[in-house]
Chain A
């Protein structure tokens, strides 16, 4: 009890600063985007349609990242997220066809959890290297989904969906909702392109118009994860397995059990991410649908410093860039200006903190982005799909001192090693 309380006070005391930072940061971003939008006329940058597309692209990445968080917080590196996600897309297709969309989401979680179980057996019970097991699971997941699709979906054809050797489309979608009144009102305001007001309205409109219940479920699961892992004794024990399993063991924590739970949940969450991709982001299962999103989820988790809030920010950023290819090239071009402004703001912030060296480097990058914006008319689409990966590399390269992964993450733990 007392440890839980201390933990609680500890995190709250640490929260006072950052929570204001987040508020200021959000306001700053809003202001910057609104300014750029007004200057360039690229209103698509944060129209409610763009934001909706971004939310839909964010959810699968977010689920994979939160899945990774569960696993890594218990000390098991899970690079099999991609494979578990792929299994999830198949599970979503199969269970939706035969039972319905909500069962489809459950089926996705189930299939993902099977992938998690294999990972847990290999890494926890047998003590195999985590990366090795993850690589094998990615191979198995990819092969299994292709194989199962050909075996089970090839001959399906009815009003519930149309199958093929590589797909099962036309499935029933999970229900969505529109908040009456609010939706129309905010959509109207958003379409007037007022400074800041329309941007805020677009956010509300995106959240209240044809919003899938599954999206809500995803955000609920993120909140639940944050609460479970940081606000309960269960979470404290689970995280202690990722920080110092020997110490946890000596205090009577059944480390194997917690690792198993964490890796199973991890697989299930990645599976739900795959299910979302199949049922909400598109109209059914297609092989190769995940397209590396499990890896982007992994990147978002690292980007977010193994914390739910940071992961949400990382996944949103990656999700937004993921949805960009759907937008006009002028919009992507205008984003260069947003990035430039952001970098300049960061440089000023660093300068005020007295870190002149970093400030100069960041300002130079900002200048380059500004130059890019001024001398070109559009950005090649391929570059936008590279953004999440390059951003992660840069964050790792320039902010790795600020990142802190769980202390015993990726280490092989054997029961009784505490002596």
Chain B
């Protein structure tokens, strides 16, 4: 295929998906008697400075979550359990950080390590169950989500300190907090310092997968397990390591918020990021760059939709439908485009063969 048709084919799927999401969301808005023009006008208006900051902060967490899911997906491991992993890890890290056993910033560093370790262990359960007992990781991680959320809730209820009508972990000491970076006025809020974690994790992901032997093994296992085994990959070991790596990244998801604004694990804990991450990973084709765009898009939609409450009768929840449709449309579009390309390539090869064939070609085919 020519360069033009290659670029066209690569961009076709996301374009189709975005158009589908626009059309379906417009229909849903019209269904409830709203005006799509007004709706999209609000969504695509220039975000306020404050909203800009929120979009950056939120997308860093969504990015980490999607990256965690993507590590598994690249190996055909469906880690649906990011939600449970980051809940348990966030609670553990918040408890440790709140206890202030270590001074200042060292406390933060060790807390991050604890979050990664706890996330890795929680995901590791599913990995070990898979390789030793043949339990599907889809089911075990779904179960571990529920267990993890309940466990964190139980621990918080019994060992947390009373705070309003709920409970929370001991808040961080001032020395273990980040102030963040203020791109606009102070009133517009700060970009969290640990947004840098998302950047580091993205770069690390790329290097690990594309520049190391481990990454090669991981991708090989994902593409063809039998081929990987034949080339000497210990698939069982890879499953456990990939799962734990995925869990370790999942453990970091909520850390930017914890050390910059949340200060404790309690009623303000942002749940649900694990499932958003899965959607964004699918949207970004499990590549860091794609995931970054996906995370920004999701955070953008979430933050801009808040204006709907003030200015229209349309519920902001409509963007959840948009997000779901984008994901579904993207995977469908990629599947269709992949098949279309396969057929096109096959035809091209056949044509080339026909051209190359000398007049007495029957002899070759016979």
Bound CA–CA A382/B154 (angstroms)? 6
A contact residues around B135 at 8 Å (CB): 393, 396-397, 400
Contact flag A147-B328 (CB < 8 Å), given A295-B142, A386-B151: no
B315 touches A140 (CB 8 A): no
Cβ A140 vs Cβ B129 within 8 A: no
User: What is the bound-complex CA distance between A126 and B325, given in angstroms?
Assistant: 15
Cα–Cα, bound, A129→B78 (Å)? 11
**Which of the residues A131, A140, A380, A382 comes within 8 Å of B328, measured between beta carbons?**
A140
User: B39-81 CB contact bits vs A (8 Å, 1 = yes)?
Assistant: 0000000000000000000000000000000000000001010
Q: Interface readout for B325-363 with A: 1 if CB under 8 Å, 0 if not? A: 101100110011000000000000000000000000000
Specify the main secondary structure of chain B where it touches its partner. Answer: helix
One of B129, B139, B154, B327 near A299 (C-beta < 8 A): B139
A136–B146 CB distance below 8 A:
no
Contacts A146-B317, A147-B320, A386-B147 given; does A131 touch B28 at CB 8 Å: no
**Given the known A-B contacts A118-B328, A140-B328, A295-B146, are A396 and B323 also in contact in the complex, defined by CB atoms under 8 Å?**
no
Tell me if B324 is interfacial: C-beta within 8 Å of chain A: yes
Q: A393-B140, A396-B135 are in contact. Are A139 and B324 (CB under 8 A)?
A: yes
The chain B residue with its CB closest to the CB of A119 is B328
Evaluate contact between A135 and B315: CB separation under 8 angstroms: no
B157 CB–A CB distance under 8 Å: yes
Bound-complex Cα distance A255 to B202 (A): 42
A390 to B146, CA, bound (A): 9
The minimal Cβ–Cβ distance linking A213 to chain B, given in whole angstroms, is 31
Identity of the chain B residue whose Cβ is nearest the Cβ of A396 in the assembled complex:
B135
Set of chain B residues within 8 Å of A396, measured between Cβ atoms: 129, 133, 135-136, 139-140
Q: Report if B143 contacts A (CB, 8 A).
A: yes
Select from chain B the residue with minimum beta-carbon distance to A148.
B32
Residue of chain B at shortest CB distance from A391: B143
Give the residue of A136, A148, A389, A392 whose beta carbon is less than 8 angstroms from that of B324. Answer: A136
Q: Mark B294-337, 1 if CB is under 8 A from A, else 0.
A: 00000000000000000000110111110111011001100110
Cβ of A224 under 8 Å from chain B: no
**Chain A binder among B163-171, B184-192, B216-224, B275-283:** B275-283
In A133-185, which residues have CB < 8 Å from any B CB?
Answer: 133, 135-140, 142-144, 146-148, 150-152, 165
Cβ distance B143 to chain A, nearest Cβ, rounded Å: 4
Which residues of B have CB within 8 Å of A143?
317-321, 323-324
Contacts A380-B154, A385-B150, A386-B146 known; A122 to B331 CB distance under 8 Å? yes
B38 to chain A, nearest CB (A): 15
Q: Does A132 contact B (CB under 8 A)?
A: yes
Assess the B151–A122 pair: CB atoms within 8 A. Answer: no
Asked whether, in the complex, the Cβ of B315 is within 8 Å of the Cβ of A128, the reply is no
Having A122-B328, A295-B142, A397-B135, one finds 14 other A-B pairs with CB under 8 Å, namely A79-B142, A131-B80, A135-B80, A136-B279, A136-B324, A138-B275, A143-B318, A146-B315, A382-B151, A382-B153, A393-B129, A393-B140, A396-B140, A397-B133
Query: What would be 17 A-B contacts, judged by CB atoms less than 8 Å apart?
Result: A131-B78, A133-B328, A135-B80, A135-B282, A136-B279, A144-B320, A146-B317, A147-B315, A151-B314, A151-B315, A152-B32, A292-B146, A380-B154, A388-B146, A390-B147, A392-B139, A393-B135
**A-side interface residues toward B, CB under 8 Å?**
77, 79, 118, 122, 126-129, 131-133, 135-140, 142-144, 146-148, 150-152, 165, 292, 295, 298-299, 302, 380, 382-383, 385-386, 388-390, 392-393, 396-398, 400
